[in-house]
Amino acid sequence: MNDPDRDDDIDDGRPLIRIQQLRDALGGGERLIGGCDDCNSYQTVEQADPHTFLVSVFHDASCPYLRGLTG
């Protein structure tokens, strides 16, 4: 079983972040750059309960991916 607080569970060459680092970084409600390869999107993370986080991706209005989803 993967432990979300360990760095060595997944290794696909991308930088990994520990859950505690994410919690610390988002304590003030900061935005994380990225989330979509097709636009200049950003992400926010909200803690819904002690073990559940909601990640939201906010796309540019001109994003081709978002336009494809919404028609």
Q: Would 4 be classed as within a structural domain? A: no
Segment holding 54, helix H or strand E:
strand 52-58
Q: What are the respective helix, strand and coil percentages of the chain, to the nearest 5?
A: 20, 25, 55
How confident is the model at residue 58, as a pLDDT?
92
Q: Tell me which amino acid residue 47 is.
A: Q
pLDDT value for 13: 62
Rounded Cα distance between 70 and 45, Å, is 23
- Give the chain's largest Cα–Cα span: 40
pLDDT score at 15: 58
What is the domain range of residue 59?
Answer: 19-70
40 assigned to some structural domain: yes
Domain presence at residue 66:
yes
In total, how many domains does the chain have?
Answer: 1
Give the dihedral sign, CA 33/64/53/45: positive
Residues of the chain with pLDDT under 70: 1-17, 21-29, 71
Instruction: Give the per-residue pLDDT at 4.
Output: 52
In this predicted structure, what is the pLDDT of residue 1?
Answer: 45
